[in-house]
């Protein structure tokens, strides 16, 4: 099922990792990326909880 998305996922990861390398702090940028990925979910949950 997910195997169909694997090549795209790997390509995206390689591109992301290529951007990380010059920065020299993979963990910091990795956390940043996770933040961006989670961002759409957080406001939605907050909006539902606030309402």
- For 20, residues 6+ apart whose C-beta sits below 8 A from its C-beta are 26, 29, 30
CA distances from 4 to 15, 23, 37, 48 (A): 19, 31, 21, 33
pLDDT score for 48: 56
Task: Name the nearest CA neighbour of 19 among 6, 9, 29, 27.
Answer: 29
Q: What ranges do the domains of the chain cover?
A: 2-50
Task: Name the nearest CA neighbour of 15 among 33, 38, 40.
Answer: 33
pLDDT score for 38: 46
The per-residue pLDDT for range 1-47, each reduced to its tens digit, is 456 678 888 888 888 878 776 665 555 555 555 555 544 555 555 55
Token output for 35: 């933040």
pTM for the structure as a whole: 0.33
């Amino acid at each position: 099922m997910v195997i169909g998305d694997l090549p795209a996922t790997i390509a995206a990861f390689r591109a992301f990792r290529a951007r990380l390398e010059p920065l020299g702090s993979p963990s910091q940028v990795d956390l940043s990326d996770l933040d961006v990925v989670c961002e759409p979910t957080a406001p939605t949950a907050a909006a539902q909880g606030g309402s």
